[in-house]
Structure 1
Amino acid sequence: MYVHDHLGRPLTSARMSVNGTRLHYRAEGEEETVVLLHGAPKASCHWRDVVPHLTPHYTVITPDLRGLGDSDPAAGGFDTVTLAEDIAGRERPFIDHWMSREAHHVDALASDFLDEYVRCCTLPGRLRAMLFIYRATLEDAEVNRAAARAPLPMPVLAVGGTYAVGDDPARQMREVATDVREVLLDTGHHPAQEAPRETAEACLGFFAGDR
């Protein structure tokens, strides 16, 4: 799947060796840099409908996270995950169910997005890597507790979907940051796909210093 800028040009696709693995990323634009990170079970294409609103003002970089999308599987650290074995070969119904259950505007989940997520999940090692992210939850909690002892001083934007996590992103960020700006959108768990224009407007306003 291609991701285009505001002029309809595909973002440059490239790879970079980082911390013992190779990450795939897309980039385009001018001026200051904005990095957009996806979650699971997504890939960098998740930001496709947001990117064109940002590239007139910023250089946008959208990487596929370690072990996901078109990035290489991580060289180590991935134990056998029984659920991955159970799901193997049934990625499409798994992804469809996961994404639709978390969405409010289910019709916004375009089939080409779902096709791309499934393609990425069926690459060797990708599904296991995605599930390993959730296995690391307790480790993440320890990291966050340590981070809370020295809160982030810079402004932080917390975007939540009213019909999913609601104000949880803002509540969680206030535990580790002192200046949190909250935006609630009329979406489920996928604001970038369910409300791309509103998501981009929230980002642009935040980058411009709006409160």
Structure 2
Amino acid sequence: MIDVTDHKGHPVTRGRVDVNGTRLHYVTAGEGEPLVLLHGVPKSWYYWHRVIPLLTEHFTVIAPDIRGFGDSFRPAEGYDMETIADDIAELVEHLGHRQFAVAGEDWGACFAYALAAKYPDRVTKLSFGDSLLPGHGLEDWSHLTAENMRAGHFLWHVSFFHVRDIPEMLIQGREELFWSTWMKNETYDPGAITDDCVREWTRTSSAPGALRAMFEVYRSTFRNIELMDQWSAQPLTIPVLTVGARYFIGQEVARRMDPLAKDVSYAELHCGHSMALEKPAELARTLTTFFLN
């Protein structure tokens, strides 16, 4: 892991706090209105390390490790979208902020949506990056079909990670090879997944209980579908920016969000699935424009 600083060269501040029955690790940096950044699988706050210095001139950035990931604790349960949204809401309040904006990618986008749906009085704006929600496309793209194969939409890992114990058995001891291969395959520029990223996510995913915790996110899919059935009945009224990677989800992210929110815009980046690593400057400009206006 390389040292991460704000726009003035000051190191990010690290901390841990007990919230909602677990302990979360987080970093903060910058000044201005709070902006929460939520990562996906198998990542940690470090996914945002190239973007953070580009945002801190305008925002107080809060980048937690989701429960079970990074250096956060790995409880036995609580990996559904609602529980994780509660985690983040408590963390942000602990840090002294009642209202905040939130940006997420991959599963972090799902958790960000859950925050906006459950806490409409607290979340001011949402950026939903390159993901599909349970019950709203995630399972469709995980099916082995000729159409999904032709379109490059076959998200095979959704079903694989849902199976209990088998992914842990096959990946344990091979974390570096598995995660680096998988993440690079999802990028347009595999060189964006640099050695420091691979080392960091190998370290955190090799910790006791880490693989189980990651896969519990996928094993919560049917609970998440129930939650989505509840939340989707009341479309979001806050501004929502969908951000698609041209060589991954692309415009599908906007099509899937349209029924779930009343004010949806779309931006597309010329990259694959790891937008904050492949196009950090472009992503930072896109987020800054959206959240400041």
Task: Show the 5 A alignment for 1:174-185.
Answer: 174-185=258-269
State whether residues 246 and 270 of structure 2, in contact with CA within 8 Å, keep that contact through their aligned partners in structure 1.
yes
Secondary structure of 2:262 counterpart: coil
**4+ long deviations beyond 3 Å:** 75-80
1:137 positional shift: 2.1
> Hey, what's the Cα distance between the residues in 2 that align with 1:125 and 1:203?
34
In the alignment, structure 2 segments of 5+ residues that lack a partner are: 80-162
> Hey, what's the Cα distance between the residues in 1 that align with 2:71 and 2:164?
21
Identity of aligned residues (%): 44
1:192 positional shift: 0.4
- Corresponding residue for 1:62? 63
- Corresponding residue for 1:5? 6
Letter in 1 for 2:59: Y
State whether residues 151 and 177 of structure 1, in contact with CA within 8 Å, keep that contact through their aligned partners in structure 2.
yes
- Corresponding residue for 1:24? 25
- Corresponding residue for 2:46? 45
State whether residues 35 and 61 of structure 1, in contact with CA within 8 Å, keep that contact through their aligned partners in structure 2.
yes
1:68 positional shift: 0.5
In the alignment, structure 1 segments of 5+ residues that lack a partner are: none
Letter in 2 for 1:110: T
- Corresponding residue for 1:14? 15
> Hey, what's the Cα distance between the residues in 2 that align with 1:104 and 1:136?
29
> Hey, what's the Cα distance between the residues in 2 that align with 1:108 and 1:153?
35
Any idea what the Cα deviations from partners look like across 1:23-76, whole Å, max 9, x if unmatched?
A: 000001111000000000111000001011110011000000001100011144
Aligned partner of 1:162 among 246, 254, 257? 246
Q: CA RMSD in A?
A: 1.5
> Hey, what's the Cα distance between the residues in 1 that align with 2:229 and 2:164?
28
| Structure 2 residue 256 is matched with structure 1 residue 172 | yes
- Corresponding residue for 1:188? 272
Any idea what the Cα deviations from partners look like across 1:161-209, whole Å, max 9, x if unmatched?
A: 0001111222222231111111110011111000000000110110122
| Structure 2 residue 138 is matched with structure 1 residue 137 | no
> Hey, what's the Cα distance between the residues in 2 that align with 1:179 and 1:116?
37
**Count of residues in correspondence between the two structures:** 209
Segment drifting more, 114-123 vs 135-144: 135-144
TM-score, length basis structure 2: 0.68
> Hey, what's the Cα distance between the residues in 1 that align with 2:258 and 2:222?
19
1:92 positional shift: 0.6
> Hey, what's the Cα distance between the residues in 1 that align with 2:264 and 2:7?
29
> Hey, what's the Cα distance between the residues in 1 that align with 2:203 and 2:61?
23
- Corresponding residue for 2:35? 34
Change (3 A) 1:65 1:181: same
> Hey, what's the Cα distance between the residues in 2 that align with 1:150 and 1:76?
27
- Corresponding residue for 1:98? 182
> Hey, what's the Cα distance between the residues in 2 that align with 1:96 and 1:35?
26
> Hey, what's the Cα distance between the residues in 2 that align with 1:176 and 1:115?
37
> Hey, what's the Cα distance between the residues in 1 that align with 2:164 and 2:71?
21
> Hey, what's the Cα distance between the residues in 2 that align with 1:54 and 1:68?
23
TM-score, length basis structure 1: 0.94
Secondary structure of 2:235 counterpart: coil
Task: Show the 5 A alignment for 1:119-130.
Answer: 119-130=203-214
State whether residues 144 and 176 of structure 1, in contact with CA within 8 Å, keep that contact through their aligned partners in structure 2.
no
> Hey, what's the Cα distance between the residues in 2 that align with 1:145 and 1:110?
39
> Hey, what's the Cα distance between the residues in 2 that align with 1:175 and 1:47?
29
Segment drifting more, 2-11 vs 183-192: 2-11
Aligned partner of 2:168 among 74, 81, 84? 84
Letter in 2 for 1:49: R
Secondary structure of 2:24 counterpart: strand
Any idea what the Cα deviations from partners look like across 1:115-139, whole Å, max 9, x if unmatched?
A: 1011110111111111111122232
